[in-house]
């Protein structure tokens, strides 16, 4: 048998040619500063070209405009300083934020009560001036869908949507490989799809929005309500009720046989599922990607509602859970990595 000795003879060490080495070096060092502003948290990260989060900073999102701007700038400056030691060359800043955003101008046009004092805010000018870097801004759900398109399940997919659950519910829509912003930058505000004429009040001021039924905040509200009535805790719940009550307590209670918690989650899943059926009937994507804190919980029930309630032609549409660690942050980074290197 000649094969084995031959292989051994010609087995060179894996030395790369100079061009591949240059490309590797660029992919490893060229980086973005990414910011994600949600209803609860402010995150900043150094993200390299391949989409790895090199370093991440998490703070509660301050309640006032001044404090928020101060914290964004301070954290970004810290990150720029740290990037030097981490061998990351920052090409620019990408900002993901709740609210309607004009990405051409880098302005947050309007926000719901989820982020106070966050309407008519020019983010590009002060941040670009303070850091001496180019700045891109878009809505957080839109950023999440950009991340799926570049790094996640949406790679190469022509038409798909993402629904991201955090404090609220964000959405992003790719049609013919392009991000849809709409006529007044209000497209893909998927959390504000209405599934009921009445229903719980939403932080947008309206009623019956899927965000008011199924978001982290909505489930937290219901969990607290049950807890206040002493109806949350059941035997077998491994959760510490001394820590702040969240949606996680509600899920744990339901799993341990709490029928009231189960009813709340059933309603939330139905609302989200029916909302997603509406999306399928408007844009007919080939894929729905769920992400955020509740994605694993919602994946199966949403798929079931689609089977039960969608038109036959839309029933086979796949619902996947995102495999990205931080879609909104990664999407913010992708704006920098794609646009800063475009010639
Ligand atoms: P945002 O982008 O809105 O700031 P995050 O994505 O950081 O939000 O998620 C925060 C929300 O998720 C809060 O509403 C919080 O109560 C909820 N949450 C936190 N941990 C969990 C968990 N383990 N399971 C479900 N919800 C959670
Ligand atoms: C709200 C709305 C959306 C946002 C969504 C998810 C504001 C400030 N926010 O529906 O623009 O995409 O929340 O945000 O108007 P998150 O806080 O859950 O990350
Ligand atoms: Mg968020
Ligand atoms: Ca959106």
Token pair of 60 as six digits: 């509660």
Residue whose pair of structure tokens reads 């303070």 in the numeric block: 130
| Nearest CA, atom 7, ligand 2 | 99
The per-residue pLDDT for 322 is 98
Query: What is the spatial order of strands in the sheet that 160-165 belongs to?
Result: 178-179, 169-175, 160-165, 287-292, 318-321
292 C-beta closer than 6 A to ligand 1 = yes
Ligand approaching nearest to the C-alpha of 189: 4
Question: What atom of ligand 1 comes closest to residue 292's alpha carbon?
Answer: 6
Residues 253-278 pLDDT 10s: 999 999 999 999 999 999 999 999 99
Long-range contacts of 283-286 (CB under 8 A, 24+ apart): 283/159, 283/161, 283/173, 283/175, 284/159, 284/313, 284/314, 285/159, 285/160, 285/161, 285/173, 285/174, 285/317, 286/157, 286/158, 286/159, 286/160, 286/317, 286/318
For the four alpha carbons of 267, 272, 276 and 278, in that order, the dihedral sign comes to positive
166 C-beta closer than 6 A to ligand 1 = yes
Ligand approaching nearest to the C-alpha of 220: 1
| Nearest CA, atom 22, ligand 1 | 248
Cβ contacts of 20 within 8 Å, gap of 6 or more: none
Bridging pattern class, strands 287-292 and 160-165: parallel
How far does residue 156's CA lie from ligand 3's centre (Å)? 24
The per-residue pLDDT for 340 is 86
Query: Do the interacting molecules here have an ipTM over 0.95?
Result: yes
| Nearest CA, atom 6, ligand 2 | 170
Pocket of ligand 2 (CB under 6 A): 38-39, 98-99, 111-112, 114-115, 139-141, 166-170, 189, 191, 211
Question: What atom of ligand 1 comes closest to residue 246's alpha carbon?
Answer: 16
The per-residue pLDDT for 341 is 81
CB atoms within 10 A of CB 134: 17
Is the distance from CB of 202 to CB of 196 less than 8 angstroms? no
3-state class of 171 per DSSP?
strand
What stretches in the chain show pLDDT beneath 50?
A: 1-2, 6-8
220 C-beta closer than 6 A to ligand 1 = yes
Residue 304 designated active-site: no
The per-residue pLDDT for 14 is 67
Query: What is the spatial order of strands in the sheet that 135-139 belongs to?
Result: 53-60, 41-48, 30-37, 89-97, 135-139
By most ligand atoms within 8 Å of CB, the mutation choice from 36, 97, 98 for ligand 2 is: 98
Query: Which residue in the list 17, 22, 140, 304 is annotated as catalytic?
Result: 140
| Nearest Cα to Cα of residue 186 among 208, 170, 200, 199 | 170
By most ligand atoms within 8 Å of CB, the mutation choice from 68, 113, 216 for ligand 1 is: 216
Task: Report residue 177 CA to chain centroid gap.
Answer: 19
What region does 217 belong to: left with phi over 0, alpha with psi -120 to 50, or beta?
alpha
Percent pLDDT > 90 in the chain is 87
Question: What atom of ligand 1 comes closest to residue 61's alpha carbon?
Answer: 4
CA distance 236 to 213: 26
Whole-prediction pTM value? Answer: 0.94
Ligand approaching nearest to the C-alpha of 162: 4
Ligand approaching nearest to the C-alpha of 56: 1
Question: What atom of ligand 2 comes closest to residue 215's alpha carbon?
Answer: 18
The per-residue pLDDT for 88 is 97
């Amino acid at each position: 048998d000649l094969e084995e000795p031959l292989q051994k003879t010609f087995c060179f060490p894996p030395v790369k040619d100079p061009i591949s080495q240059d490309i590797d070096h660029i992919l490893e060092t060229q980086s973005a500063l990414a910011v994600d502003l949600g209803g609860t948290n402010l995150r900043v990260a150094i993200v390299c070209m391949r989409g790895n989060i090199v370093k991440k900073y998490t703070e509660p999102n301050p309640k006032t405009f001044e404090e928020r701007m101060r914290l964004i700038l301070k954290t970004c400056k810290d990150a720029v300083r740290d990037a030097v030691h981490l061998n990351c060359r920052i090409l620019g800043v990408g900002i993901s934020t709740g609210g309607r955003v004009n990405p051409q101008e880098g302005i947050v046009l309007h926000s719901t009560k989820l982020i106070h004092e966050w309407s008519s805010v020019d983010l590009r000018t002060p941040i670009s001036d303070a850091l001496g870097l180019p700045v891109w801004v878009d809505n957080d759900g839109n950023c999440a869908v950009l991340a799926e398109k570049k790094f996640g399940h949406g790679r190469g997919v022509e038409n798909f949507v993402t629904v991201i659950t955090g404090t609220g519910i964000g959405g992003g829509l790719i049609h013919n490989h392009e991000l849809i912003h709409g006529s007044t930058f209000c497209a893909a505000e998927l959390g504000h799809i209405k599934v009921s004429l009445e229903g719980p009040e939403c932080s947008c001021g309206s009623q019956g929005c899927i965000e008011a039924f199924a978001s982290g905040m909505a489930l937290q509200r219901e969990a607290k309500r049950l807890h206040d009535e002493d109806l949350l805790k059941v035997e077998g719940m491994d959760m510490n009720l001394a820590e702040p009550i969240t949606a996680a307590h509600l899920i744990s209670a339901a799993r341990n046989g709490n029928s009231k918690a189960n009813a709340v989650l059933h309603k939330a899943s139905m609302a989200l599922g029916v909302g997603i059926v509406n999306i399928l009937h408007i844009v007919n994507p080939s894929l729905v990607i769920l992400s955020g804190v509740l994605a694993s919980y919602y994946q199966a029930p949403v798929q079931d509602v689609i089977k039960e309630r969608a038109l036959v032609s839309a029933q086979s549409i796949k619902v996947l859970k995102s495999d990205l660690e931080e879609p909104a942050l990664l999407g913010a980074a992708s704006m920098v990595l794609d646009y800063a290197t475009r010639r």
